Amino acid sequence: MDMEQARFNMIEQQIRPWDVLDHSVLQVMMDLPRDAFVSEAQQSLAYADIQLPLGHGESMMHPRVEGRILQELAIQDDDICLEIGTGSGYLTACMANLAKEVFTIEIHEDFIATAKQRLATQNIANVILEQADALQSLALDKRYDVIAVTGSVPEYLPLFEQLLAPNGRLYITVGSGALQHAMLVVKADGKYRRDNLFATELNPLQGITTKPNFKF
């Protein structure tokens, strides 16, 4: 299989038609081999318009959704990012290529180990990985320019937006089952603007049924 051609087709047939037109996002997704972030058995499906199973009931997002997330977050080269849910490590790698630094938290230890190896293979060194339940262990004294939550939550949780730095951006998916929508939250002048973006469907964020043990 010609992976470079498959990557080009992904950009032209999936990413652009979903109104992802930002040059830096398209370039990162073109340069970064998505096939390096899937199992050997999934190589032929790395660029397909599907959610690939990862284990633990988790899935790799559609490429078009990953592209929209990156575009909506408008990541700059001096941004400090937080990712909730490392998964395959692919979105992590895309963010790392756009940002100054990425902190990524994953509840599954094997996902962290695999993502760490994949990132190293791509010579990506500006990522800090942590194995933890983010809903129970987020550091409250840190602020981030960008936050990406890669699992859905049944109802909107304000706790993530309160970790945003001034002018920070948060992507999160809200809803249950097929009734989910992506949201972009922007912090400006001490206030939060919350915009609905598009309909989507992601697996629930692991641990979401557990009440967080911290308060702001």
Does the pTM exceed 0.85? yes
Domain region containing 67: 3-200
Question: Domain tally for the chain?
Answer: 1
Residue 205 lies in a domain: no
103-137 burial: b if 16+ Cβ within 10 Å, else e = bbbbbbeebbebbbebbeebebeebebeeebbbee
CATH number, residue 61 = 3.40.50.150
pLDDT (tens place) for every residue of the chain, 216 residues total: 799 999 999 999 999 999 999 999 999 999 999 999 999 999 999 999 999 999 999 999 999 999 999 999 999 999 999 999 999 999 999 999 999 999 999 999 999 999 999 999 999 999 999 999 988 878 778 999 999 999 999 999 888 999 999 999 999 999 988 889 999 999 999 899 999 999 998 888 887 654 444 443
Residue 179 lies in a domain: yes
Q: Using DSSP, state whether 131 is helix, strand or coil.
A: strand
| Residues paired with 196 in a beta bridge | 183
Residue 47 lies in a domain: yes
Q: Within a 10 A sphere around the Cβ of 161, how many other Cβ atoms?
A: 19
Residue 215 lies in a domain: no
Residue 56 lies in a domain: yes
Residue 209 lies in a domain: no
